[in-house]
Amino acid sequence: MKIQSLQTFVVGNPPPHFGGRYFIFLKLTTDTGIEGVGEVYTATFSPAVVQHMIEDVFEMHVQDSDPFHIERLWRRVYGRGYTLRPDMSLMSVLSGLEMACWDIMGKAVGKPVYELLGGKVHDRLRSYTYIYPRAGEDLSVYSDPDLAAERALEYVDMGFTALKFDPAGPYTVYDGRQPSLEELDRSERFVKTLRKAVGKRADLLFGTHGQFTAAGAIRLAQRLESSDPLWFEEPTPPENPKEMARVARQTSIPVATGERLTTKYEFARVLEEQAASILQMALGRVGGMLEAKKIAGLAETYYAQIAPHLYCGPIEGAANAQLATCTPNFLILESIETWGGFHAEILKKPIRWEDGYVIPSDEPGLGVELDESVALANPYTGTKLHLEMQEDPV
């Protein structure tokens, strides 16, 4: 069996845009007619440029190759152009292509991908969601702790046992910085208000986006500790795990990181420095499903857990669920609310979510099928990046 053709889809994500402005999907087809889908999660170039990147890597390394030869594919792409080092854009492209190969492999042997990566460990996967605005409401829920507490209770009533929020303020290309007194006060108020509202019914996940210096993050953590969050996410910028480790050593809150990291090499440094005890790899970026499984294995040796990150479309979401299902040290899975809305419409059958848990599919491959008619009916033709940071200092 050989991979014969590629098709890409840049799909506009309609309002309210939960998961980003657009999703980049791809489909590989073999000479035997088996199709596999993947998702590329990259925010470093406009989507039209990413499409060309995918086509270039496909033509040079994937076309006419055997989809079962993942290690060979991985090395050839990782080392192309005399690199052999983590490159976020290239690893994102590789991730989507490799994901589609796993989908093909699962379909070829009639097994879910998790059965090929070690076998099912978990029958259901605890999930969390961001606290998003209600339909038709503005973005006040991100800055108003009382409104956020109301929404938190609504999510808990749906069945969620963990909720994430990020009230610390804007993130910029000039971070890390010291938090202002206003940011410290708002963050403390948020956590205390939410804890009072949900009590012991839900864990609180405090998100930041690498906004602070280690000293500033430690000051912030001291404000949060009394409310016992489950994690303090990416308290410092991602490139220096030694500085993040300073935060981890001086707070009782577990530190989580990983959405902006790729490959086992970057995650190994996080573990070696003891910078975080919760790893948040994003399967559309990290370097592929096998790479993520290797990272999870490394994490086991440090008694660290994985909590796959998601801020894109449901193909990556399905891949995250496949990895989580076969990983002993899985902690929790990020969901976009209950996997309804456009995340359901773009699939022929939505990801199954029940009472706070994602239920792993027992269908072959990734367990989801892209509805190409919906994808083609919702093209994204803009040039903006998937995510954009503030370009001026706070």
Q: Provide the token pair at 214.
A: 């280690």
Do the Cβ atoms of 344 and 350 come closer than 8 Å? yes
Provide φ and ψ at 161, rounded to 5°. -115, 10
Biggest alpha carbon distance in the chain?
Answer: 62
Do the Cβ atoms of 295 and 281 come closer than 8 Å? yes
**Dihedral angle over CA of 220, 222, 226, 230, nearest 10:** 60
Tokens 């919760």 belong to 278
Three-class secondary structure assignment of 57-92: HHHHHHCCCCCCCHHHHHHHHHCCCCCCCCCHHHHH
Residues recognised as catalytic: 209, 309
Q: Provide the token pair at 333.
A: 């899975």
What's the Cα-to-Cα distance from 151 to each of 112, 243, 358, rounded to whole Å? 35, 34, 21
Q: Which residues face 7 on adjacent strands?
A: 27
Cα separation, 344 vs 26, in Å, equals: 18
Mutual angle of helices 289-301 and 70-78, in 10-degree steps: 90
Cα separation, 320 vs 318, in Å, equals: 5
Helices and strands (H and E) in the chain: how many: 13, 13
DSSP state letters, 302-340? TT-EE-----S-HHHHHHHHHHHHT-TTB--EEESTTS-
